[in-house]
Amino acid sequence: MYATDFLFNGRRASDFGLMICSFNGEPETVTGGELEYNTAKSPQTDRFTFYGSQFNSVLAWNFSICKNPDQNTNLYFNQYEESRILKWLIRTDGYNYIQFNQPGYEDIFYKVCINAVSHQISGRTAGFDLTVTSDCAYGFSDIIRRAGDINASTPLKLHIQSDINTYILPELNLKSQGNDGFFIHNFKDEQLQLPILSKPIEFYHASKEITMDSDTEIITGLSNPNDFNWQFLRLTDGMNFITTDSVSNIEIEIRYREPRFVRI
């Protein structure tokens, strides 16, 4: 890592007069995120057969932060400053996105949690040693928004550029005329699934505005939970076609992040 600044939970380290540093003089590198292969060798051959693969570890960083000497005359932290920094970094509300301000990689985000320990020199706090742990083995793009009107003859086309062969679970906003039921479907997902597993998102009695989070499987805007078949939209790498059987227009907005297999 060559970055000296980062964005976390809506604030930059430089907003607090801080910078990324190393107290031992050695730059830290990211660890984890290895892909493990499931293989087996038959008794009658010297070759191994591939049965699948998976990421069994997450990305993790260990680095320190200190006061930027160009912005501070006193490089040690008092009690108030230490409390302010730890309140920003140590969250109890789950993972938050971090973005390292490294040239060429400013558009890469990682969803992380942070543990911070004060770095003491002669009994005074000179900075903080951070352990930053991601929720998976890769990063993500910034939020991408795509919107348009769809109907039975007009799909919404989305070209997904993903570095990982995995599903993207987006957020959706749907605005319809209400009352009439309709379905929403990703034709690309249907091509990748067996017919029995390919199910559209069906609204039997639609509200005028519906919000759906495919990742958390939370949906709002329904007057009755039985008006929905509890299927959620999935996006895949390549061209996706979001279709519907509705004769009238449905306003749709899709928000998602594309996986990025980049390590900083």
Strands 201-203 and 182-186: antiparallel
Cα–Cα separations (whole angstroms), residue 92 to 62, 95, 115, 143: 20, 9, 11, 23
Which segments of 69-205 are extended strands (E)?
96-100, 110-121, 124-134, 139-140, 144-150, 156-160, 171-175, 182-186, 201-203
| 255, containing H or E segment | strand 250-256
Q: Which pLDDT belongs to residue 196?
A: 47
Per residue of the chain (264 residues), give pLDDT as tens: 788 999 999 999 999 999 999 988 776 779 999 989 899 988 888 898 888 889 999 999 999 999 999 998 999 999 999 999 999 999 999 999 999 998 889 899 999 999 999 999 999 999 999 999 999 999 999 999 999 999 999 999 999 999 998 899 999 999 998 767 899 999 877 554 544 456 789 999 888 899 999 999 999 998 888 999 999 999 999 999 999 999 999 999 999 999 999 988
Tokens describing residue 172: 């959706």
| 16, containing H or E segment | none
3-state secondary structure of 80: helix
